[in-house]
Chains A and B, each alone.
Chain A
Amino acid sequence: MPNRFQAWWQALLPRLSGRGNPEGPSDLKTMLSHFQAVLDCNNQALEVMTDMGEKLGGDYLFDVNYTQRAYDALSGHIGGSLRHFALLTGGRYPQLGEVQARLDVLVRRMLTSAGPPADRLVLFYDEITWDLAEEVGGKNYHLAELRNSLKLPTPAAFALTTAAFDLFVRHNNRLAARLQDLGSTAADIDPLLPELQELVRQGSFPEPLAVALEDAVGRMRSLQGQECRLAVRSSAEEEDGDFSFAGQFGTVLNVPCTLEAVQQAYKEVVASLFGSGSIAYQRHLGYDPGKLRMAVGCVAMIEARVSGVTFTASDGNREIMLVSAAWGLGKAVVDGFTDADLYRVRKGEAPEIIDTRVGRKEQMVVNLPGGGIETVDTPAGLRGKACLTEGEVLELARQAMLIEEHFRTPQDIEWAIDAKGRFFLLQSRSLRLEGEPAAGEGEAAGQAAPPVETGQPVLLRNQGLVVQKGTAAGPVFILRHADELDQVPQGAVLVARNDSPHFVRVIPFLAAIITDVGVPTSHMASICRELGLPTVVNAGNATALLPPGQEVTLRAGEEGEVAVHQGILPGLLRQYRQAGIKMRELYELRRQKYIMRYIAPLHLVNPLEEEFAADKCRTIHDLIRFMHEKSVQELVAKASGAGRGLTSLLRKSPLRRLQLPIPVQLLLIDIGGGVSGKGETVEVDQVLSPPLRGVLRGMTAPGVWHGGGMALRGKDLLAGITRAAELAEAGGEAGSNLAIISGEYLHLSLRFGYHFNVLDSYCSGTPRNNHIYFRFVGGAAAITSRSRRIQLMADVLAESGFILKTKGDLLIARLSNLSCPRAEEILEQVGRLIAFTRQLDAVLDSDEMVARVARDFLAGRYTIPS
């Protein structure tokens, strides 16, 4: 036997030499150690993030000292990840270091309460990058985001920053002094407000601000024409963020684009900060009077033919959008004084209008030629006439869906269409859904609490880990496949087998999440904490215990107690809400929590999407996720490369042959701890590498390995002949079946006939680090049959929770964040699938057959249909 093997190997060597890259096993070993280091550092970072999320969540008294120390630790771990990641990837992602440096500046600035640098007084929207939210205020920031990230049409615009505001205040001494007094006086400040407003209106512009503004106004005129007009609007620090400040501040419309007119309007808008109603609202949100800083936006006016507002959720239903529209400027719709047209649109790949209600629209708002606006009677011919075409409604719907998806919460969007039919987005902010208490609407402390229900049947008790405490109720939705996410109803309690960052897009609409498996440091967990969504992971058999559709109330307590009660229990819910809302409104707490904005949110969700790029990272969480995914990919590539460069591999590690009870030649390279014993051949029970053990158990399972190949039918045979050359070109390993393994790692390349399988898996004691990556390509059959086999494999893999991508006869499946035993179990299934589907494509005649075979396979029946 050994001789025959040697001979076979000798014959193979010349064909392999000279191909691939020169990675040796020692290199691969080093790479594996960098990979482990990236994952370890990432985990430590995630643990700190988890702790910060918990401590800053409102249940702890903490001081800035804590935040500082925690951030230092976080920053240290990320530094470690970045270093090892750079070594692993040969420094191919220099952008990550840049992102980290920018984040660091932002967070440290917040920790030291230092404002943004005072050098940027005016910023055009094109210049507003993701890290400038504080400078330009919420409203400017969001609109610029639509323009820059989503490439949606917005009018030309620029922002006067909070630094400009500071400069303006400092320059006007009396105003600055009065503001100082305002902060220190305990007396009723209302009588002081008119004077403050007057001081703002009388204020003069400091030289640098006047110069910068004059430049901007000039540039605007050259962009938009000499006659262009501006809407000058407030954009305060938190405006359109957690708090809408809706209607609190001034807006001046149709302002001539001259330095004098814009200065005037600017002062008018800034003065609105000190209106008595506005001050009361600010106080309510915990701002000491005079503390809130205001940026201002100057947006080119649109000669609007039609304007309106789109809500991306309606009547608490996230499937239905509501578009309201009226002739002329949007003020008529926003202020609600005209009987606008209403269009209800069902979301989806192809949105559809469900119903249309045409309003009378007796009045409309128009720009006045000399500046300012006016409400006029709508011309008779336009009243009662629908102001949008079906195509326009659908285009608005499409844009609104994009925006909602981007901000991940339902949106309230203002838009306009001009006489030429061009669309413009004017504003987008979070839409508060019905039933969700708005800030400040919490029940007064001391109000008699409703009785808390007792004695309700408990469906699940004290199972799982509390990720985010809270009490929430809704119908149970059991998620079996990732692609069922679209069916999760609004307000559901999502119950899933695994946790997944893919849940991000539905999280804002859920009442709670419970998973059978999972860890509190996962990506999903940190998003749930960030959004305050009651979440329990690792609850064991929740998917089995909780009946689909059953209404339940989840109570996830501070001390980790978990109870899922049957039915919706209003008393319990109210008791919980009372405490939470007030705490959220504490200014000092919000201020600290803002740091988390640059840490916790996750923008990079799906590694199979184009958006998954280094330059799209905007938070520490993004960096972690990006490095994790790319590390896996890098390892797969390095291991494949090492597989191809077998000659250099062999210099250091002996090549060994695995004795299998099935007719498969499999060579092993052990880079440490993958097998026990020495010798050229290895018995199956000598394999120590858990992922390889799993796969082999599956491949050799009784009944799945069918001897011989299925006879190819006529056209398949032809297709097979031509495909062989193609596939070899595409990187086939010249018949080599190779496994590179360690005590925790497996990289397996398998070729059966025209099928190429690559399986890469890491199985350690830390579930978060573990992954399975499976790629399948090829097949000697007509493309429809090949696609059917891919479909079959996808159906089976989805059942194990894989995230899948298929294209023609290529399938990529990945799964991460799972315990080692669970990974082994899944790898066993993958092994069965690899063996079973070897030549299945030739016999898959119909889509029905695919479904039937998949069902049989999942049920443990491995019969090849004849």
Chain B
Amino acid sequence: MSNKHKVMIIDDEKIVGDMAKLSLEQEGYEVEAFLNGETALARLQGSPFDVVVTDFKMKGIDGLEVLRTVKKLYPKTVVIMITAFANLDVAIEALRDDVHDFFPKPVKIKELKASIQRALEKRKDENVNA
């Protein structure tokens, strides 16, 4: 089994998944990209990811539903939300639901990377302390 961290990207626009996958792979992550919530959640059954980066507004299963499902299945998985429609209510709701970070699009890839890294370090510390 690979000791790389696994990252899942969910966005209904291919360009977002392609770019995120490419840049995160360069950092040594193992990345899978999905174009909708349905296939992404199906992939998650029985196969935990360390980080899930999801678009908020998608047809069918949206970002909030992804967040809730992920947290129910794997409470330790880090969830990061990105959205083109920056809206405070959404942010508050998402944060209450334990989203690690929240980015309006366009999001600087470097910031996304830093956020993922911080989350993983924090999780490691928690595990050590637990």
Contacts A59-B110, A589-B18, A589-B19 given; indicate if A64 touches B26 (C-beta within 8 A): no
CB contacts (< 8 Å) of A592 on chain B: these are 15
A8 to chain B, nearest CB (A): 65
Q: Which of these binds chain B: A580-588, A596-604, A774-782?
A: A580-588
A257 to chain B, nearest CB (A): 43
A261 to B116, CA, bound (A): 60
Is B120 on the interface with A (CB-CB < 8 A)?
Answer: no
Is B25 on the interface with A (CB-CB < 8 A)?
Answer: yes
Give the interface centre of B20, B26, B28 by most chain A CB atoms within 10 Å: B26
Q: Which of B19, B25, B26, B28 contacts A61 (CB 8 A)?
A: B19
Is A55 on the interface with B (CB-CB < 8 A)?
Answer: yes
A66 to B55, CA, bound (A): 14
Is B92 on the interface with A (CB-CB < 8 A)?
Answer: no
A59 to chain B, nearest CB (A): 6
Question: 5 A-B residue contacts at CB 8 Å?
Answer: A61-B109, A61-B112, A63-B15, A66-B84, A558-B110
B26 touches A445 (CB 8 A): yes
Is B23 on the interface with A (CB-CB < 8 A)?
Answer: yes
A61 touches B14 (CB 8 A): no
Contacts A63-B84, A582-B26 given; indicate if A588 touches B18 (C-beta within 8 A): yes
Is A735 on the interface with B (CB-CB < 8 A)?
Answer: no
Contacts A62-B105, A65-B84, A445-B25 given; indicate if A586 touches B110 (C-beta within 8 A): no
Is A579 on the interface with B (CB-CB < 8 A)?
Answer: yes
CB contacts (< 8 Å) of B23 on chain A: these are 579, 583
B15 touches A588 (CB 8 A): yes
Given A61-B112, A62-B105, A588-B18, list of 9 further CB < 8 A pairs? A59-B108, A59-B110, A64-B13, A64-B15, A65-B105, A579-B26, A582-B26, A586-B22, A589-B18
CB contacts (< 8 Å) of B110 on chain A: these are 59, 558
Is B73 on the interface with A (CB-CB < 8 A)?
Answer: no
Contacts A66-B84, A588-B15 given; indicate if A61 touches B22 (C-beta within 8 A): no
B105 touches A586 (CB 8 A): no
CB contacts (< 8 Å) of B13 on chain A: these are 63-64
B48 to chain A, nearest CB (A): 24
CB contacts (< 8 Å) of A582 on chain B: these are 22, 26
CB contacts (< 8 Å) of B14 on chain A: these are 588
Q: Mark each residue of chain B from 24 to 40: 1 if its CB lies under 8 Å from any CB of chain A, else 0.
A: 01101000000000000
Q: Which of A58, A65, A445, A578 contacts B19 (CB 8 A)?
A: A58
CB contacts (< 8 Å) of B22 on chain A: these are 582-583, 586
Is B82 on the interface with A (CB-CB < 8 A)?
Answer: yes
CB contacts (< 8 Å) of B15 on chain A: these are 62-64, 586, 588-589, 591-592
A58 to B23, CA, bound (A): 9
CB contacts (< 8 Å) of B60 on chain A: these are none
CB contacts (< 8 Å) of A578 on chain B: these are 26
A60 to B23, CA, bound (A): 10
Is B11 on the interface with A (CB-CB < 8 A)?
Answer: yes
CB contacts (< 8 Å) of B46 on chain A: these are none
CB contacts (< 8 Å) of B105 on chain A: these are 61-63, 65-66
Chain B, residue nearest A59 (CB) = B109
B63 to chain A, nearest CB (A): 13
Contacts A445-B25, A589-B18, A589-B19 given; indicate if A63 touches B11 (C-beta within 8 A): yes
CB under 8 Å from chain B, chain A span 149-168: none
Give the interface centre of B19, B23, B109 by most chain A CB atoms within 10 Å: B19
CB contacts (< 8 Å) of B95 on chain A: these are none
A446 to B112, CA, bound (A): 20
Q: Mark each residue of chain A from 62 to 105: 1 if its CB lies under 8 Å from any CB of chain B, else 0.
A: 11111000000000000000000000000000000000000000
Contacts A445-B26, A588-B14 given; indicate if A60 touches B84 (C-beta within 8 A): no
Contacts A66-B84, A588-B18, A592-B15 given; indicate if A60 touches B25 (C-beta within 8 A): no
Is B16 on the interface with A (CB-CB < 8 A)?
Answer: yes
Contacts A59-B109, A60-B108 given; indicate if A586 touches B18 (C-beta within 8 A): yes
A55 to B108, CA, bound (A): 8
Main secondary structure of the interface of A (DSSP, over half): helix
A62 to B16, CA, bound (A): 6
CB contacts (< 8 Å) of A64 on chain B: these are 13, 15
Give the interface centre of A58, A286, A578 by most chain B CB atoms within 10 Å: A58
Q: Mark each residue of chain B from 83 to 125: 1 if its CB lies under 8 Å from any CB of chain A, else 0.
A: 0100000000000000000000111111010000000000000
B84 to chain A, nearest CB (A): 5
A638 to B26, CA, bound (A): 59
A471 to chain B, nearest CB (A): 16
Chain B, residue nearest A559 (CB) = B110
CB contacts (< 8 Å) of B107 on chain A: these are 60-62
A790 to B107, CA, bound (A): 54
A582 to B16, CA, bound (A): 15
Chain B, residue nearest A446 (CB) = B28
Chain A, residue nearest B9 (CB) = A61
The 10 closest A-B pairs by CB, nearest first: A62-B106, A588-B15, A60-B106, A63-B13, A65-B84, A55-B106, A61-B107, A588-B18, A61-B16, A588-B14
Chain B, residue nearest A64 (CB) = B13
Give the interface centre of A59, A61, A64, A66 by most chain B CB atoms within 10 Å: A61
A840 to B16, CA, bound (A): 66
Q: Mark each residue of chain B from 67 to 84: 1 if its CB lies under 8 Å from any CB of chain A, else 0.
A: 000000000000000101
A351 to B112, CA, bound (A): 53
A62 to B109, CA, bound (A): 10
A592 to B20, CA, bound (A): 16
CB contacts (< 8 Å) of A579 on chain B: these are 23, 26
Chain B, residue nearest A557 (CB) = B110
A518 to B117, CA, bound (A): 37
CB contacts (< 8 Å) of B20 on chain A: these are 61
CB under 8 Å from chain B, chain A span 28-61: 55, 58-61
A619 to chain B, nearest CB (A): 23
Chain B, residue nearest A592 (CB) = B15
A63 to B28, CA, bound (A): 24
A291 to B108, CA, bound (A): 29
A62 to B108, CA, bound (A): 9
CB under 8 Å from chain B, chain A span 529-582: 558, 578-579, 582
A283 to chain B, nearest CB (A): 13
A101 to chain B, nearest CB (A): 28
A63 touches B109 (CB 8 A): no
CB contacts (< 8 Å) of A55 on chain B: these are 106
A426 to B19, CA, bound (A): 38
A525 to chain B, nearest CB (A): 20
CB contacts (< 8 Å) of B11 on chain A: these are 63
CB under 8 Å from chain B, chain A span 754-798: none
A466 to chain B, nearest CB (A): 14
Q: Which of B18, B26, B28, B109 contacts A60 (CB 8 A)?
A: B109
A64 to B11, CA, bound (A): 12
Chain A, residue nearest B112 (CB) = A61
A584 to chain B, nearest CB (A): 11
A199 to B105, CA, bound (A): 44
A186 to B39, CA, bound (A): 16
B19 touches A583 (CB 8 A): yes
A51 to chain B, nearest CB (A): 9
A587 to B14, CA, bound (A): 10
Chain A, residue nearest B85 (CB) = A65
Chain A, residue nearest B12 (CB) = A63
A64 to B19, CA, bound (A): 13
A64 to B14, CA, bound (A): 10
A62 to B13, CA, bound (A): 9
A411 to B90, CA, bound (A): 52
B69 to chain A, nearest CB (A): 23
CB contacts (< 8 Å) of B109 on chain A: these are 59-61
CB contacts (< 8 Å) of A63 on chain B: these are 11, 13, 15-16, 84, 105-106
CB contacts (< 8 Å) of B82 on chain A: these are 61
A682 to B54, CA, bound (A): 68
A66 to B104, CA, bound (A): 11
CB contacts (< 8 Å) of B108 on chain A: these are 59-60, 558
Chain A, residue nearest B15 (CB) = A588
A113 to chain B, nearest CB (A): 11
Chain B, residue nearest A588 (CB) = B15
